[in-house]
Amino acid sequence: MKLNIYVLITIMVFVSACQKEEIPVKKEYIPDSQLIGFSDFPEEGLLILGKQLKNPYSLEVMKRSKDSLMILGNDSLKYLNVRLTHYYVKFKPKNEDQRRMLKRDTSVIYSEVPLLYEIKKGGTYYKDPTLPDSTPNPLYTSVSVAHSFPPGIDYDIIDEQYFPEEMEDEILSNVIDELVNGALHLTNNFTEPLGISFKRPSKWRPSGRIRAWDDLVGGLVPVYKAKIRTTRYTKQRETYTDLNGYYTISTQYRRKVRYRLIWETNDYDLRVRSIFQARYTGPWKKESWNLDVQSHFGETKGLSAIHRASARYFYRNIEDLTRPTSGGPKYKVAYDHEETEGPLGVNNGHNEPTGVFNSIRIKGKNKNGTQRKVSQILSTTIHEWGHTTHRQIAGVIRYFLVNNVITESWARAIQAFIVPLEYNDLGVFNTGNYKDPTFRSYVDNQAYNKETYVTDPVLKPYSPLFIDLVDNFNQFVDKGYGGCSFGYKDDFKYISNTFRDCFIAEVPTGEEGFIYLDNLYYTPVNCCDCPVPGSFYDGANCKVLDVPDNCIAQLVKKPGLIDKLYITPEMDISADDYTDEISGYSPGFIEKEIIAIVDETNEKNAINRVRSILLDLDKPYGVSRKGIDLYFESFLDRR
């Protein structure tokens, strides 16, 4: 009868101790000040390392495990060729450029945190205390012996390793388990109790769900595309969460793993303290891990908002807008959780090689020190990505030449278009939808398609210019401005409970209303009858009204209903009136036909360039040259 392997291991330890001295820990040069005990409750801030561990996958340890077990009569191990298969490596990039060069190889999983340590305190970032802030953290990983090391980047091979689970046939799984169990025991990493009755641990796959608090939803929402990493000594595996926030690691384990959430994808990564990879340290356990980023969380809550906004822009529905493309190294987005000075969001361009600057910086607090809401951080992040795509499609030179009323108004419009897409998907519909006739753009609890933002001296560049080209909302008539010298006020668009536009006439049953040369007409009854009071037959059709120069003709056609003729209330540009009877342009159209080509430095010239483009191109239904001219005259008058 064969002895239980766990009894063999107990004997093996004694035999091994008689044969050789204790296996030393391979030093990774972390100061003793960080070598403090272990906690299963991660926190935010600086990650603190605990006790350094011995490497059970060390080639030396694996050989000793095999030799010891074979001495005890386990001949089946002779079928295992214990050999060098992998290196445990510490890469030492000197700057951000070298770090990026390493991370371009997405087949390798790099960790800023040394792998052979317990964790005393989890955190949102790790800082190697031996290096200045300007030098990136070393990157730790295991690579095969066939790995091609990139030239010019320093590295240390910390250990030579043997990974039997990856190198040997499944038929040898029982033998491999015995070998690994022996290695775990030799390195004091075998935590299960020994005994004749102890059973071989069952296999399992790490899995779970990531959710985060959102103030508009008033609860937790799934976090999509969050990178989840599991580590077991020097082995790492990773995957991403799905649209519902769920994830499953493909590799099966028999024992505990360390969970980590890394705020990065192949296109961008989030930073804290400017240069440190943003993360969240999960537990060490043999069961699923679910993380709920609650409303009382600090840095992680802000990071979740930035990640959600970025994942939306890069991977989810944004209609016909352009996604950011790096064209090389990934973007860096820095989160300043405690910073109160300066703008709430800054776009520094794409990739700055020193690591001092980031592509985008987002603030977590207002200037008065109050914490910003999740929806506000998410919205600001969308705004900054809007600048990135603007620069991408227009080119760097044109982007920096053009007046900031174009750059900021477009980024503001991007917020108004994309933020509602995120919340509509979550079942929150009061944030607006630019395709809805009742559209009111939600951005930081403000309706940014209101004309007040044109005159505010601080927010003057952040105008509703491009929102106005898309939405169905005319702030001039919405406020009840303007009178009706012709007709009377009526709510033909059914946008609000107020009477807004001037009703002129109802077209006779069976006839068709239309607008010609900005005037109101309908087809005559029989040959040439014009029964609507005040209308007359002009030899072809019935003309109802010569529309005044300061009004715009309106036609309402609804299936199954009689056509109705309206004009907008009379507007006095000299009295600071502001009208917006333009709608129906798609965000993608604006991006490709306007944003990509406008480069005028002078504000008035830039706005008039937009005007001329719209006048020259095909127009959406209901948009006239007169409507475009009146809008831009009133817009410029308020500047």
Nearest CA to 159 among 143, 181, 178, 176? 143
Q: What residues have CB less than 8 Å from 206, skipping those under 6 apart?
A: 228, 230, 237, 248, 249, 251, 253, 257, 259, 288, 289
pLDDT in the model for residue 262: 98
Higher per-residue confidence, 16 vs 25: 25
Question: What residue ranges do the domains of the chain occupy?
Answer: 403-481+582-638, 502-569
Is the pLDDT at 514 greater than 60, yes or no?
yes
Q: What does the block give as tokens for 510?
A: 């069976």
Is the pLDDT at 590 greater than 90, yes or no?
yes
Q: What residues have CB less than 8 Å from 386, skipping those under 6 apart?
A: 410, 411, 413, 414, 415
pLDDT in the model for residue 34: 43
Is the pLDDT at 4 greater than 60, yes or no?
no
Most confident of 1-10, 395-404, 469-478: 395-404
Q: What residues have CB less than 8 Å from 12, skipping those under 6 apart?
A: 65, 68, 69, 71, 72, 182, 185, 186
| Distance of alpha carbon 550 from alpha carbon 627, whole angstroms | 10
Most confident of 7-16, 226-235, 273-282: 226-235
What is the pLDDT confidence band of residue 474, given thresholds at 50, 70 and 90?
low
Is the pLDDT at 558 greater than 70, yes or no?
yes
Q: What does the block give as tokens for 168?
A: 């040997």
Contact assessment for residue 454 and residue 638, using Cβ atoms and an 8 Å cutoff: yes
Is the pLDDT at 581 greater than 90, yes or no?
no
Contact assessment for residue 316 and residue 224, using Cβ atoms and an 8 Å cutoff: yes
For 159-206, how does the pLDDT look when each residue is reduced to its tens digit (9 = 90+)?
999 999 887 777 788 888 889 999 999 999 987 655 444 567 889 999
Is the pLDDT at 465 greater than 80, yes or no?
yes
| Distance of alpha carbon 520 from alpha carbon 553, whole angstroms | 7
What is the pLDDT confidence band of residue 232, given thresholds at 50, 70 and 90?
very high
Long-range contacts of residues 423-432, Cβ cutoff 8 Å, at least 24 apart = 423/216, 423/217, 423/375, 425/316, 425/317, 426/214, 426/217, 426/221, 427/217, 428/216, 428/217, 431/216
CA distances for 409 relative to 381, 423, 482, 579, angstroms: 15, 22, 27, 17
Averaged pLDDT for residues 54-62 = 97
Averaged pLDDT for residues 57-70 = 94
In the chain, % of residues over pLDDT 70: 82
pLDDT in the model for residue 286: 94
pLDDT in the model for residue 94: 93
pLDDT in the model for residue 196: 41
pTM: 0.86
Most confident of 237-251, 417-431, 620-634: 237-251
Averaged pLDDT for residues 245-253 = 96
Higher per-residue confidence, 439 vs 315: 315
Is the pLDDT at 40 greater than 90, yes or no?
no
Is the pLDDT at 508 greater than 90, yes or no?
yes
pLDDT in the model for residue 263: 98
DSSP 373-399: PHHHHHHHHHHHHHHHHHHHHH-HHHH
Averaged pLDDT for residues 30-51 = 61
**pLDDT averaged over the chain?**
84
Q: Is 256 exposed, middle or buried (0-12, 13-18, 19+ CB in 10 A)?
A: middle
DSSP letter assigned to residue 225: T
Which helix or strand (DSSP H or E) is residue 630 part of?
A: helix 625-637
Averaged pLDDT for residues 20-32 = 51
What is the pLDDT confidence band of residue 352, given thresholds at 50, 70 and 90?
very low
Q: Tokens 């291991």 identify what position?
A: 9
What is the pLDDT confidence band of residue 129, given thresholds at 50, 70 and 90?
very high
pLDDT in the model for residue 442: 45
Nearest CA to 567 among 546, 553, 550, 549? 553
Q: What residues have CB less than 8 Å from 611, skipping those under 6 apart?
A: 628, 629, 632
For 403-457, how does the pLDDT look when each residue is reduced to its tens digit (9 = 90+)?
999 999 999 999 989 998 999 899 886 655 555 544 444 444 445 555 555 566 7
